[in-house]
Structures are given as structure tokens and as C-alpha cells.
A and B are shown apart, each in its own frame.
Chain A
């Protein structure tokens, strides 16, 4: 995937790798280097490559995040059952251990790659990149990446997906967006799952869940559904069809899309390619700027 890139050396940093381009030293002072790069710029960089890869194959990549057991795999099963003839779907499954979820997907006749993260509580762009080498994306319309069940860590790692979906299942309680703002702010779509359980959990108020979400300044749509009863799944399918159309249109225009809260990532990635700046504590004409 990365063979044609050559982007390790950029116009901004090439002077650093050329002989003699290294900084002159100051007398006794330390050298202060201004960096201003994301702590995860290496991950973000790989994520951009993944996104290019998806765009080249005309694939819409969707990252599913939730706490463990909120119904990610069950929703994928229901989606494959309903839309398997309409679209070509592939799945990357992330779990700490086991092939269980990938096997559930394969049982439905869909290609699935399992990533066993071991001790890592989230997927990162490199793990997804490795998984892509085991997945044939030709002809695939939608790639679902099911992240590790965890409402904290996955939100920090761009994988190269176009859209983030966060699931909130009824048994978890309606105030989850207030308790996990970073995760819910990252969502382009929030799915309220297991609505068939609402009658048994009388204190779950879907409107309160939506209020908590809006208080995070999120305009993401919130859809309530049940994968087991099939209730309101059509709304979800409608959203998917719309996103797929939008992705195809973007592709025709040579554009891409990032999940909603990653404009900073985009900016930082651009910064990274322009290299970093440096300055010295003690004025030294010979040291110059970059």
C-alpha cells in the first residue's frame, strides 16, 4: 500500500537528512525544538494511507465503537442478512481475544478478518493496515471495522475510516454520553440499540440520551433500533445507503471524508508533512532557522 508514497522525506524535513543540513550548535545552551505535532502523528499518518487505500478501492469504511456487548456484531449480522444482496460487505473485527466475532460474520457468508489485539484496548491504524493485507477489497462496497468494546480508548485512534458510529445499548443507561464525552463527540451517528428492552428498563429515557448527546455540541443523528426485533432497522439502512452514495460521489470528485471530530488530525497531518521548526535558546546566527 505504501510503496509509491515516499513521504518519509518531505520538502520540510529533507534538509535534516542531507549532510551538513543538521543544526549548528549553540555554546552551552540546550537546543529547543518546537514540534507541535500530534502525539499520535505516526498513527494518523498510517490512517491517511488506509483512507487512501479505501478510496482507491471505492470502499466506504465505517468504524463501530461501543462498550463491550452493546450489540455491534449482532447489528452487523442483521445488516448482512438484510443488505447482503444489495451491497458487498466486508468486516474487520477487533477483540482482545478469540475469533468468535469473525466466525459469526463468516457464518453469514461475508469475508471477515479478526484482529486479536492481545492487551491493547483499541485498534490502531497499523493493526488495521495489517488486516487489510489479509482482505481483498476489490468489489467491496462497505467495510465495517468493529472496534474493541471500550468506551474510552478507541476514540483517540484514527484508523482511516470515513465515518464513526457509536452504539449505546439500552441496558447501559441513558446518561452514557455525559460520562464518556470523548467517545460520543467522535460519533457521526449514534445508534441507540436493544430498544426491545425498553419496556423492561423503565428508567431509560431516549430523549434524555439525546439531550446528553446535544450537550456535547454534537449534531450527529441518533437512531433508535433493535437488531433482534428488527425495529427501526430501515432507518439505519437508509443512513447507510445515503453514506454509500455520498462516498461514491466524493470518489468521483476525487475527495475523501473523515469522521467529524478529526479536522485537527487533518491539520496536524499536513503540519507533519511540512516538517517541524526549530529555534535555539541562545541566539546564534550560524544556527539559523529551518
Chain B
């Protein structure tokens, strides 16, 4: 599966940001991964330690949040909840809807700490 590639890409992004901020350690990583992102959160959690081993994010906590699937109808305008393989308007049943949330695959934020902080503690 491709979750390992995604973890490697995440790792590179995290390392770059940590470097840009002169951080010594990454403490926490928060992702947003929707049910329609094509990425499975449990598989990401599983692959993460392999990708993070030996890096400054080795001990980081990986928090994966999932947004519900919501669609907006282009016919009646209603915004309703939907499921992965039934993205119809919950109000009028039309199939011409736009996904409002549920396909995100984002690195939301990071918590970093600095070397000198660690020394001081």
C-alpha cells in the first residue's frame, strides 16, 4: 500500500520545517485525513514508526483527525452529511453535489522543541 510512501513524504516535510525553525525535536504532529482521501489512518499510524526511526521526530506523537464527509448540492443548495460511496444530496437526493469535506490529507500543524530548551529542562 502507499501509506508508507505518504509517511516518507510526511517525514521529509516535517524534517524540513523543523530545520527551518531550528528545532531539535518534533513533539507532536497533527494530520487531517478524511475518509475519501485515499489514505487509511490506521495504516499511516502503523507505517509511521518505520519512517520516523532515527529522525528528530522519532518520539513525536502522531495525531490523526478525520473530518466527516459532507456534500453541498448544486441543485437545492443544502449541505448534508454523506457516506464514501453515496455522495448524494441528503435533502433532495440529487447526485450533482460538491464535496465540502472528507477528502483532506493535510499536515495540519507541528509542535517543536528546541535543543537549548531540552538542555535547560
Contact = CB atoms under 8 A, between A and B. Distances in A.
A261 to B, nearest CB: 7
Interface residues of A, number: 49
B46 interface: no
21 contacts: A16-B20, A22-B20, A30-B28, A30-B113, A31-B21, A32-B112, A33-B110, A33-B112, A35-B109, A38-B105, A39-B31, A39-B39, A40-B9, A120-B2, A124-B5, A152-B1, A182-B36, A214-B95, A215-B86, A217-B99, A219-B96
B52 interface: no
Interface residues of B, number: 48
Contact of B85 (A42, A43, A215, A219): A215
B20 A13 contact: yes
B27 interface: yes
A contact face: mostly helix, strand, loop, or mixed: mixed
Given A33-B17, A37-B107, A121 B1 contact: yes
Interface of A: 13, 16-17, 22-23, 25, 28, 30-43, 120-122, 124, 152-153, 155-157, 177-179, 181-183, 185, 212, 214-219, 261, 264, 268, 276, 278
B9 to A, nearest CB: 6
A217 B85 contact: no
Nearest to B105: A39
Given A152-B38, A156-B37, A217-B97, A177 B85 contact: yes
